[in-house]
Chain A
Amino acid sequence: AQSVTQLDSHVSVSEGTPVLLRCNYSSSYSPSLFWYVQHPNKGLQLLLKYTSAATLVKGINGFEAEFKKSETSFHLTKPSAHMSDAAEYFCARMDTGRRALTFGSGTRLQVQP
C-alpha cells in the first residue's frame, strides 16, 4: 500500500532556530508529495508540493523540502522558526489510482519563545 510515515509526532524548537520535520514514503516510483499545515480547528493550507520537477522544492513562509529518492524521504525544513509556525504539519502523497491524498500521522510543531 502507498503510505507516508512521519517520524516524529511532536517537535519542539526555540524561536529563531531551524526546523526539521521528517517524512518518508513507500513507493517503487516517484510519487507526488505534499506538505500541509493545519492550525487548530482549521482546514489545511498547502506549504509546498513535489511533482517530479526540481528535487528541492520551495514553499510558502520560508519552508522548503528536498525529495531524496535514494532515501525515500521528503523532509520539511525552515532555517528559522517563528512563533506563528506552531501548528500541525502533515506530509501527504497522491494515490495515482484514486487521485486522493494519503496523509501521514502528523507532526505537532511547538515553538518556544
Chain B
Amino acid sequence: GAVVSQHPSRVICKSGTSVKIECRSLDFQATTMFWYRQFPKQSLMLMATSNEGSKATYEQGVEKDKFLINHASLTLSTLTVTSAHPEDSSFYICSALSDYSYGYTFGSGTRLTVV
C-alpha cells in the first residue's frame, strides 16, 4: 500500500533555531500534501495545503513566514519551522493525496519540542 515516510519522528531544538520536517511518498506521487498540527489531547488542525510546484495555501492564523512549506517534487514535501519558540512545540503530521485511488496517506508524525 501507499506509504509516507516522515522524518524526524522526534526532535528537540533550542528556541530561535529552525527545524525541517520531511515527508516523502515512497511508492506513489503525492500531488497534494497537507500539513497538520496537533496539540496534546487535541484534534488535528490543518495548517496548510501544498500542491507540487505551487506555493502553499495557508489556513487563517498560520504564519506563512514561520512555517515554510516546500513541495518541489511529487514525492517530497518539507515543513520548516523557522525561529522556533516553545509555543511551536507540537505534533506535526503530513498527509499526502494522490490523484489516483490511494486516498489520504498519513506520515507517522513528528514530535517537536522547543526548549
Chain A interface residues (CB < 8 Å from chain B):
34, 36, 41-46, 49, 90, 98-106
Contacts and interface: CB of A to CB of B under 8 A. Distances in A.
Contact of B43 (A43, A99, A106): A106
A54 B84 CA distance: 46
Contacts, number: 45
**Which range contains the number of B residues in contact with the other chain?**
20 to 34
Contacts of A99: 32, 49, 97
Interface of B, secondary structure class, is strand
A43 B23 CA distance: 12
A73 B57 CA distance: 30
A41 B109 contact: yes
A101 B109 contact: no
A44 B49 contact: no
B107 A104 contact: no
A90 B42 contact: no
Contacts of A104: 43
B108 A103 contact: no
